Amino acid sequence: MPYWHGYGWGVWGLAMMTVSMVLFWVLIIVAIVALVRYLQRAGRVDRGVGTAEELLAERFARGEIDEEEYRRRMTALAERRRRT
């Protein structure tokens, strides 16, 4: 039987195939999770969904408002929450 000559890849070949297949599926799953998280975060910011503090912090981080404006608005939000 000429086709059964030798042991082929042997144990190391099977081990490498197993490891590479597990890594492949882990990478696929991580990529899908990362994509879903990115799309959820991007959608939330675009729609303006989130707490007022989060939106204010994002505007401050992007440089849309300065520190004085940020602190003034955060104080106003805190006072409003204490009244309610």
Task: Give this prediction's pTM.
Answer: 0.46
Q: What is the pLDDT of residue 25?
A: 98
Q: pLDDT of 45-78, one tens digit each?
A: 555 556 888 889 989 999 999 999 999 999 999 8
Residue ranges per domain, the chain?
Answer: 6-81
Alpha carbons within 13 angstroms on the beta-carbon side of residue 49 total: 7
41 burial type by CB count under 10 A (0-12 exposed, 13-18 middle, 19+ buried): exposed
For the cut 60, the answer to whether the pLDDT of residue 2 exceeds it is no
